[in-house]
Copies of this chain bind each other. A is one copy, B any other.
Amino acid sequence: MQLITIQPETLFQALADETRLRIIRLLVVADKEACLCELVDSLQEPSYKLSRHLKILRQAGLLSSQKEGRWVYHRLVTEPSYLETLYATVQALPDGDQVYQADLARFTERIRLREGGRCRVGILSDDLKVENK
């Protein structure tokens, strides 16, 4: 049950950003949940950036996030039912420069590293890791 009502504009505002659309579209098409590090490797974007966008999607009621130890799994929210219609639209959008296709390809590769369906490795793309001095 959702106590505070989310404004319709907020919903569309959440999708009005390329990075967030890539996240949503990936989760819609792959029909899977994903943790941040898997998204970092799939979208090739820094974790702090994705973390913030995930928060915006969560606040818009599109995503639910569950912590499991070190990892946080993000999945699409499917209620209320018009969200399913919305995801159908997202899935039907053109992929002019094959960005989504490339994201999905990396994601598919990446989740092959899961053990028992759970993520067991961190960020693999060296250039996206945050180094602790």
Contacts and interface: CB of A to CB of B under 8 A. Distances in A.
Interface of A: 5, 7-9, 11-13, 15-18, 21, 80-82, 85-86, 88-90, 92-94, 96
Nearest to A5: B96
Contacts of A82: 88-89, 92-93
Given A16-B16, A85-B85, A93 B21 contact: no
Interface of A is mostly: helix
Contacts of A92: 80-82, 85
Contacts of A93: 8, 11, 82
A125 B4 CA distance: 34
Contacts of A11: 93
Contacts of A18: 7, 9
Contact of A94 (B5, B86, B88, B96): B5
B8 A12 contact: no
A61 to B, nearest CB: 11
A102 B11 CA distance: 22
B17 A15 contact: no
A8 to B, nearest CB: 4
Nearest to A91: B82
Contacts of A15: 9, 12, 16
